Amino acid sequence: MLYLSSIFIQEKDIETFDELIEAVKVRAQEGEIFIRLDLKPPYPDTPKDWEEKIETAFNGYLK
């Protein structure tokens, strides 16, 4: 299971919500099956519907 917080820890160079979305897509392509949204993204451009956007990006790239 992929925890969103693990992306924050491992990908320290991410500075925007769009960059986070790309990292989520990569993890889904690499074979992660589940994602847990355990922390709200700390970026100033994080939208109000951030959970939906992350889940959509993740589920759209599952193998």
pLDDT tens digits along 1-57: 999 999 999 999 999 999 999 999 999 999 999 999 999 999 999 999 999 999 999
Residue ranges per domain, the chain?
Answer: 2-60
pTM: 0.91
> Can you give 11-60 as a three-state secondary structure string?
CCCCCCHHHHHHHHHHHHHCCCCCEECCCCCCCCCCCCCHHHHHHHHHHH
